[in-house]
Amino acid sequence: MLSEQQETAGESAYRSIRSDIISGRLTPCSRLRLDTLKERYSASVSTLRETLYRLSAEGLVYSEGQRGFEVAAVTQEEFVQLAVLRELLEGHALRESFRKGDLEWEGRVVGAYHKLETMERLMMTGDTRRSAEWKYYDREFHRTLVSACGSQELLSAYSMIFDRYQRYQIVAVIFRGKPAAQEHRVLLESALDRDAERALTVLHEHIDACVAHTVNTGQLPIAKTDATPSIGTAQRQAGSSSSVGEAVWGKLRADIINGKLAPGNKLKIGNLRDHYQSSVATLREVLNRLTSEGFVIAEGQRGFEVAPVSASNIRELAELRLLVEGKALEDSFGLGDVDWEARVVAAYHKLTSVEADMEKGNNQVTERWKQCDWQFHQALISACGSQSLMHLHNAIFDKYLRYQFIALSYRGPIAGDEHHELFDCAMKRDVQGARKTLHEHLWGGVEHALAAGSIPG
């Protein structure tokens, strides 16, 4: 169990290191040596390891097994992928925020814009001494614009993507001057007028111009392989020193998703140590990582507990999954080749076989059914061409999947028919039909899960 002092030190180290990575003070691909970090951030080795694993889950740090950690690389490919995701999430959040925002929200937007405009005026005079403040206020303005959207899951996903996107701007020292300032002004006017369409148009121009300007600096390397980290993340994470932690993380995470560790359960280190045959240090690293992913809540002096569930949260997840998976389906249908089609055919065959067993009442295959369901949806979007999009989708899918396990919800032939429609749409490359079916599929699943009565309102 963490003491108040340890908790404060851990949060302080996390915020400081994260800020230093995003701001570029810790440069891409630089080694993160624990002995050096210990002096720099006044934190213990165990606290630093927990922090670095937490940042690894966010894509800002790479875990290198026996070789330790390093700051995540930057590439043109990833920046473009993050830009697409930022526009997708921010655009949806803007539309909802403009619809739901009240006078208090308007006041926050105006205040945030005033600070940003002040910094931009200074930057345009050539005074770059306060460029860090400029980027901070840029971030604050955009976040304030979407703050009334009403979905914590959407805001969390957007915040993570925006921070990774902004790291690229800072690395490349990007300030486009008057055009960017004018775009921010139009966004303010659109917010006050509740003109979502105008805001979405200028947001697209704003992000596109920033990407073009950043890439044109020539400071971002081109990845050697498509969306693959330069130092081989998968291989490093399979290294001997990290394999125990990865295994415990995988088991504990799976036990939360499939409901073996129920929402609200206290996660006592002593009990977990015996059950998962792991050290206290490894368990703390794993629990902090799961906290970052939203599956666990850190309670300071009281330790950790499994994150709760609620009707509002499953609806937020369904809406976010529909947004992200819909985009991934569209891209995958456009880029998919015959090999992709073969993956979809194979995954669909396995899913229909298991669903036939479920319809016969064979609940022994429930976990297998959910695995095949995941594989089918994964196959459908596997040609989208964006590892960043796939990673975000997986994170959302797993949170949504936890609700299905908790509710033990299988909708029978209805779900099977919807999967068949998705399969047909994939073979025909029918994007609109797939989006419509996915909407029915997700919201039908939500209502079925809530009707089971095991999810609090």
Q: What is the pLDDT of residue 412?
A: 78
Same domain for 370 and 287, yes or no, is no
Whether 223 is covered by a domain: the verdict is no
Segments in 258-337 forming alpha helices (H): 269-276, 280-293, 311-335
| CB contact at 8 A, 385 and 425 | no
Whether 221 is covered by a domain: the verdict is no
Same domain for 254 and 356, yes or no, is no
Cα(124)–Cα(10) distance, integer angstroms = 38
Same domain for 343 and 384, yes or no, is yes
Whether 428 is covered by a domain: the verdict is yes
Q: What is the pLDDT of residue 301?
A: 65
Cα(61)–Cα(51) distance, integer angstroms = 10
Cα(220)–Cα(227) distance, integer angstroms = 13
For residues 358, 364, 365, 368, the Cα torsion angle rounded to the nearest 10 degrees is 150
Whether 222 is covered by a domain: the verdict is no
Q: What is the pLDDT of residue 149?
A: 98
CA atoms within 13 A on the CB side of 195: 12
Same domain for 117 and 33, yes or no, is no
Residue 36 sits in a domain of what CATH number? Answer: 1.10.10.10
Cα(265)–Cα(281) distance, integer angstroms = 20
Nearest to 7 by CA among 287, 279, 276, 248: 287
* 3 state DSSP class of 294: coil
Q: What's the pTM?
A: 0.88
Range of the domain at 39: 4-73+229-306
Tell which of 216, 242, 264 closes a domain: 216
Same domain for 153 and 192, yes or no, is yes
Same domain for 165 and 86, yes or no, is yes
> What is the tally of structural domains in the chain?
3
Which residue positions in the chain have pLDDT lower than 50? 1-7, 225-242
Centroid of chain to Cα 363: 32
Q: For 394-441, what is each residue's pLDDT tens digit?
A: 999 999 999 988 876 667 789 899 999 999 999 999 999 999 999 999
Whether 38 is covered by a domain: the verdict is yes
Q: Write out the H or E segment, with its range, that includes residue 31.
A: strand 31-32
Cα(327)–Cα(233) distance, integer angstroms = 26
Contacts of 197 (CB under 8 A, 6+ apart): none
Whether 456 is covered by a domain: the verdict is no
Contacts of 36 (CB under 8 A, 6+ apart): none
Segments in 3-151 forming alpha helices (H): 4-22, 34-41, 45-57, 76-100, 103-124, 131-146
Q: Write out the H or E segment, with its range, that includes residue 205.
A: helix 196-216
Burial class (CB in 10 A: 0-12, 13-18, 19+), 187: buried
* 3 state DSSP class of 450: helix
Same domain for 60 and 144, yes or no, is no
Same domain for 108 and 187, yes or no, is yes
Burial class (CB in 10 A: 0-12, 13-18, 19+), 209: middle
Centroid of chain to Cα 364: 32
Q: Name the amino acid, one letter, at 457.
A: G
Question: Tokens in use for 92?
Answer: 């949806």
Phi-psi region of 232 (alpha: psi -120 to 50; beta: other; left: phi over 0): left
Q: Name the amino acid, one letter, at 260.
A: K
Whether 457 is covered by a domain: the verdict is no
Whole-angstrom CA distances from 3 to 10, 247, 295, 415 are 10, 27, 21, 47
Rg (CA), the chain: 23
Residue 404 sits in a domain of what CATH number? Answer: 1.20.120.530
DSSP code string of 295-315 = SEEE-GGG-EEEPP--HHHHH
Same domain for 210 and 234, yes or no, is no
Whether 212 is covered by a domain: the verdict is yes
DSSP strand pairing (31-32 vs 69-71): antiparallel
Tell which of 306, 323, 356 closes a domain: 306
Cα(441)–Cα(245) distance, integer angstroms = 36
Same domain for 329 and 410, yes or no, is yes
Same domain for 415 and 316, yes or no, is yes
| CB contact at 8 A, 296 and 307 | yes
Tell which of 247, 274, 306 closes a domain: 306
Q: Which residue has the tokens 């005026």?
A: 121
Same domain for 288 and 381, yes or no, is no
